[in-house]
Amino acid sequence: MEELIKTATACAAITYIVCDTGAIEAYLKLFCKWFKVKNDVINPPQDLGINFITRLRMTHGDNFFVELFECPVCLGSWIAIAASVGLSVIAIGSTVFLTWVGYFLLKLLVGLINKNESGNSRKV
C-alpha cells in the first residue's frame, strides 16, 4: 500500500509540473542553449504571446504527444500506468485513480496558496 501511495504521489507531482508550470519549456530552452540547437518552437524569434503547447500544436499539428501534454488526466494516467508496470505495482487502476486525486488536490492546494498570498500582500 505504501508503494502505491508513493508511486501515485510522484506521478501526480510529475503531471502537475508538466501541465501546470513552465518547467518543460525552461529545461528545453536550457538544453538547446547548452547544445547550441536552434528551434523556433522552444526559442521563438519574437514573443508571440502564445504558450508553449500552442506553439507545439502550430508546429506539429494534432500529434498524440502534444495532446498528451494538454490533458493532465491523460498524461497522469499514462505516467501512472508506466510507473506501475515499471515498479511492478499490481493495482494499476488504483495508482491511476490516486494520481488523478493527487494531481487535483495539488492543483487546488497551490491555487489556494497563491490566492492567499495575493490577498495578504500589502501595498507600501
- Is 96 a domain residue? yes
**C-alpha cell belonging to residue 66:** 502534444
Count of structural domains within the chain: 1
Domain of 31, in residue numbers: 2-117
**Residue 118: alpha-carbon gap to chain centroid:** 23
Q: Higher model confidence: residue 101 or residue 52?
A: 101
DSSP tag of 42: T
pLDDT confidence tier of residue 29, bands split at 50, 70 and 90:
confident
- In whole numbers, what is the pLDDT of the chain averaged over residues? 83
Percent of the chain with pLDDT over 90: 33
Let me know if residue 124 belongs to a domain: no
So what's the pLDDT on residue 109? 94
48 vs 54: CA distance, rounded Å: 11
Please indicate, yes or no, if residue 100 is contained in any of the structural domains.
yes
53-72 pLDDT tens trace? 777 787 777 888 888 888 89
In which band, very low, low, confident or very high, does the pLDDT at 82 lie, cut at 50, 70 and 90? Answer: very high
Residue 120: pLDDT above 90? no
Residue 123 lies in a domain: no
User: Which residue matches cell numbers 525552461?
Assistant: 26
Q: CA-CA distance, 118 to 24, in Å (whole number)?
A: 25
